[in-house]
Structure 1
């Protein structure tokens, strides 16, 4: 039997265990570096076109909803500090089938973000005249040219190399880029607010909310939620944290707070710096039709061309840093599902530097495939946001179930008012899923069915005597929930038929969410099964011993 670690080291670890080498600052910057990616470069323009100045309300609303989900993840990550946590918390509460569904959605979303961030970088750089004249990276519809594919592959290979060389290098590299990624947006806010502040813009072009509440909600999946995604990346790497019970929850909370404040300031600075004449006829083209580098354009207009140069450099650093971290997160998710034997066992293989090498290589291969069929950054944002909403929804319902079934376990961080905020978090995630639109939601439904096919094929390769039960009864709520949400989206007002009246659609989503949440809690697996699953996973990862309850 492998001896558990102490919180401060990993000297006793076997070669099959992940290396525990990441401290609080490394974890915090991993989450913050994921939050600050291409979303800050592109999100403000997209949301302003949809919601006008009321896009500020969209950011506040998204921040409040995601804060509840982040706090739920913070408790789970500190209580169960294992790699690929978003796949494993539902596994502990409901068994392998639910754990796989959560993990598949989380992996799908994470593995797509690295190529999305690379495409954002190439899209930004392709608008620079002297680069575009020498290397044409994008076709008119946003797909990569041959040169773009080669350069994009270079980025993906760099991400892969850093991940394979070890988690300490990953943490150090990301911490440096995260500091730069935070400093540049703050500098942008200060410069734009100082040189060009037009207070009248906040009521121009049709008033503060030209498209009403519908615009506020529609802006959420168009870039707002996508920009704030990533707080859970510290949790995905909790299996490599030096002191996860102390550091994981703090890292998530601090990163989310910094990201929220930063994005609100950026949106306000963007709106205030616009030329008032450009808003005379509405918000359709506030910085010029076809413009893809809004902050760089504004910096040039206000006479700060030096800032535009910095922004173009940051257009490489910010998305690339985020893509690097998401490749790590995707690898830990497939590693976790490989350990649970719901994906092929080789994905759980640990390399000489004690990182999941096979899972990292899989993330590279899938990322390369994602370059081929998808047209642009904006085309995938809705799908990724929808997948993230489903992934996040599993956390509050798992937390509620584990509080009931595993309530005696020490919890270094506790979600306040958990009996209220856990179901509220499930409702919030489902609302984000609904607002993502029917086009993204039905595609995600197809992806879920594909995942179940992968699960079936994986289990066929396992000898019958070694297959664990899927816990069908504890999983009975998942398909009615996902099917019901896609059905509501079909008849809803966000890409659907519009048959559901305004506000009644939201009431139906809330009612279904609450019914599913409490049903799921009642169907959770028994306490002894929860404890056995947790002990098995912790033993396999040499989780630091938790202190006895005080």
Structure 2
């Protein structure tokens, strides 16, 4: 099969709307209520922290993506800076996290649609069970996303631009309508479960707040298809995060202010809408606006799921091109310029990840997805600092100022987000990731040269394994443990402080462990892009 080439078709607007379109999905439909029940009237504050953390991480990746634009860059960069062990572990975590998001968004569409389409769910007591028809509904959505992506990148980009523009209208209209029913006295009600700062920390992960920002990475993952990646990728990240933050904070404020006071007489945990914004509007006698929300509950998550299915394919493509997965996944169709093998695998994984969670609610799913995704982000600050140290000659069209402060701060923020997800989530993700090393040895143990490479690069990756173990142990001992099984040994905020200090230790250990000569694969070899002279104009490459 002759290898094809990625097509440079995406503009700054396309990249920005890829980010906004993947962020403004199911998050705004569910997260405001979940955050309010956990953190009470201060629920808008963790949105700001989530935006701050994601912006730090995004700016760090902006420098690498501008200097080395690659499809699935989040998976390529760890391999370039730290070798096969770190590259494999981050790739496996990316596969777990990324391939499930399209399914989560399809689940969100089905959840809202069940209010007016009978037969999608069956409610038994406090449990909500998805029916066989509901499963088919979700699978049909995923197949639709697949077909849109399978066509061409130009069609995908233009459809996303149109859908994202429409997605802005409904949240903004919701904000405007609820402002007329705003009661400042609601902010005096602070009782929530668990409430306070601890509740705000939990809301970041379990509440879906950080999940709602994870789509900033799209500009990086589509870097090989950007018209002007050096200029547009960093700008697209900043624009997407700022626009999404403004929308989310305003939605959270108007939700808190518009809830009828009788529903929060005993605290915010009494707010239990199935379809939060739509049901709130119905309670306020605004049925016409609720109908619009129900319609948008199809559009917004579907647009996000469509983008994530495309991004997942780029991630699997990159993982395969690193040599840690089957080579057929790392091929580009010559006619369309798309990784069609990776798209097929993405469709299958999206369906598989969805079905086992038929009895779970949206907030339970996004907790695992958030932590798994941030587990892939935390390597970015380490990687960019390592490139500054060991590849000073690399041409950097965008150079982040204050990196010596911002990079470790981004790493600490990412570590906190992973830790705050709690023991039940972290134990599964860390356990699966470390257990997957069996596959790493299977794919890498090909010949004597591969075995020698594994041996040489083990010391560049051992810090990451110890880091995972540290977070796992703290998840047992700290205040975010499973109190039904374990006792809290280190209370909040001391546990969070210890995790932050430990993160700084692992950050500097990770930078010091990087390959002395980064193994940056030439762009033409990595992605077969159509502009053959681009790598040379970008300052060349650094080969191991």
Range into which the TM-score falls when normalised by the shorter chain: over 0.9
Q: Which moved more, 1:46-55 or 1:533-542?
A: 533-542
Matched, 1:520 2:510: yes
1:127 is matched with 115
3-state SS of the aligned residue for 2:10? Answer: coil
> Does 2:238 correspond to 1:253?
yes
Give the Cα–Cα distance (whole angstroms) in 2 for the partners of residues 296 and 476 of structure 1.
49
- Hey, what's the Cα distance between the residues in 1 that align with 2:171 and 2:113? 18
Alpha-carbon separation, structure 2, partners of 1:175 and 1:467: 46
Tell me if the contact between 1:439 and 1:495 (Cα under 8 Å) persists in the aligned partners.
Answer: yes
Specify the SS of the correspondent of 1:22: coil
Match of 1:19 in 2: 7
Among candidates 39, 49, 62, match of residue 27 of structure 2: 39
How far apart are the structure 2 equivalents of 1:372 and 1:424? 37
CA RMSD of aligned residues (A): 2.0
CA separation of 1:403 and 1:424: change in aligned 2, threshold 3 A: same
**Residue pair 1:410, 1:546 contacting (<8 A) in 2 also:** no
- Taking the aligned partners of 2:66 and 2:57, their CA distance within structure 1 comes to 14
Shift of 1:300: 2.0
- Give the Å deviation of 1:536: 7.1
Give 2:39's aligned residue: 51
Q: Which runs of 5+ in 1 are unaligned?
A: 1-13
Which residue of the partner structure matches residue 217 of structure 1? 201
* Alignment equivalent of 1:370, drawn from 353, 356, 361: 353
CA spacing shift, 1:348–1:464, aligned 2, 3 Å: farther
Which structure 2 segments of 5+ residues have no match? 540-544
Residue pair 2:35, 2:203 contacting (<8 A) in 1 also? yes
Query: 2: CA distance between counterparts of 1:203 and 1:510?
Result: 32
- Which residue number corresponds to residue 492 of structure 2? 502
Contact 1:144 1:372 survives alignment (8 Å):
no
2:283 aligns to what? 301
Q: Which residue of 2 aligns with 1:394?
A: 379
CA distance, structure 2, for counterparts of residue 404 and residue 205 of structure 1: 48
Matched, 1:232 2:222: no
Task: Quote how far apart the aligned CAs of 1:211 are.
Answer: 2.2
| Matching residue within 177, 183, 196 for 2:163 | 177
Cα distance in 1 for partners of 2:226, 2:56 equals 23
Q: TM-score, normalising length from structure 1?
A: 0.91
Name the structure 1 match of 2:397: 412
The equivalent residue for 1:278 is 263
C-alpha distance in structure 1 between counterparts of 2:378 and 2:496, whole Å: 16
User: How far off its partner does 1:136 sit?
Assistant: 3.0
Question: Compared with structure 1, are the counterparts of its residues 91 and 541 closer, same or farther at alpha carbon in structure 2 (3 Å cutoff)?
Answer: farther
Q: 155-164 or 463-472: which moved more?
A: 463-472
Per the alignment, residue 473 of structure 2 pairs with 487
Deviation, 1:539, is 7.0
Q: Aligned residue for 1:350?
A: 332
Partner of 2:542: none
1:332: which partner in 2? 314
Q: Is the 8 A contact 1:114 1:326 kept in 2?
A: yes
The Cα shift of 1:206 comes to 3.7
Q: Deviations over 1:424-478 (max 9, x none)?
A: 1110000000101111000001220343223233235x45556782311111211
Deviation digits for residues 519-548 of structure 1, max 9, x if unmatched? 111111113x435x3567557445624657
Aligned to 1:147, which of 125, 133, 138? 133
